[in-house]
Amino acid sequence: MNASPSLDSRVLHFAGLGLLALAAVFGWQELELQGVLIAVVASAVATIVSAQKLEGAMRWLAPGLLFVTAMVSAMSWLAFKIPLLLLGVVLPVLGAIWVAMRLLRSREPVVPGPMREFPLRVPEFLTWQTLGIGLMALTGGAYFHLMTMHVDDIARRLVLTLAWTLLGLGAVLLGRKTNDTAPRDAGFVVIAAAVLKATMYDTTHLFGGLRIGVLVAVGALLLIGSQFLKRTPQPEAQ
């Protein structure tokens, strides 16, 4: 009697996870691994879990693990500015992209008006928040390390603010086009961060025309985005 492929896959899957967990235990005891490596390993495990089928509890577990590991790595980088911690953000972001694509494909036919009740949208919400906040952390981290390598130009401080604004607008427009509130919510979080950066940081670190320019640029992008939203029709009921 031949074993089913799904059983073989599960055996290999859990054996691999078991060996990784055992390696982490020995690493903690004998190699005295630093918290940085533990955060990266946790992100890698979360990314591996997110590659599994999104059925049953896994539909909730995978986005939750991606969100938690990405946030822990992002906050740890913010506190310690260790470049390796950004890898702990990259991996969950890649996993979130893969999960978001599958969740979009598996959604029920869209209908105009409010989406499903929030508890049913938690996996999508966590996935898109991982993408939004994770990408902000990565771009902010990349900019910081470029700045500390003495390749910073004061005018380049505009780039990060504009990039966050465009990223947020793109997510909001995608949410409108697909009638999905998850990317919309994530987009507004990113836009809020961009507006806060423009008003609280850029206006105190930029001077003259650049200070005016960043406010004009962000304001203009938001106005353009509002026009695109008006022209983007909601999907029709199917």
* Interval 71-100: pLDDT, tens: 999 998 988 888 888 999 999 999 999 999
The answer to which of 27-41, 53-67, 217-231 has the lowest mean pLDDT is 27-41
pLDDT at 145: 80
Q: What is the pTM of this model?
A: 0.79
pLDDT at 115: 46
C-beta separation of 92 from 75 below 8 A: no
Higher pLDDT: 43 or 10? It is 43
Distances 49 to 54, 97, 187 between C-alpha atoms, Å: 10, 14, 25
pLDDT at 136: 96
To the nearest whole number, what is the mean pLDDT of the chain?
Answer: 83
- Domain coordinates in residue numbering, the chain: 153-238
| pLDDT for 8 beyond 80 | no
pLDDT at 21: 72
| pLDDT for 31 beyond 80 | no
| pLDDT for 215 beyond 60 | yes
pLDDT at 166: 96
3-state helix, strand, coil in the chain (%, to 5): 85, 0, 15
Residue-wise pLDDT tens digits, 145-173: 877 665 556 667 788 999 999 999 999 99
C-beta separation of 42 from 88 below 8 A: yes
% of the chain at pLDDT higher than 90: 40
Residue-wise pLDDT tens digits, 91-142: 999 999 999 998 887 765 444 444 445 566 889 999 999 999 999 999 999 8
pLDDT at 81: 87
| pLDDT for 53 beyond 50 | yes
DSSP per position, 60-88: HHHHHHHHHHHHHHHHHHHHH--GGGGHH
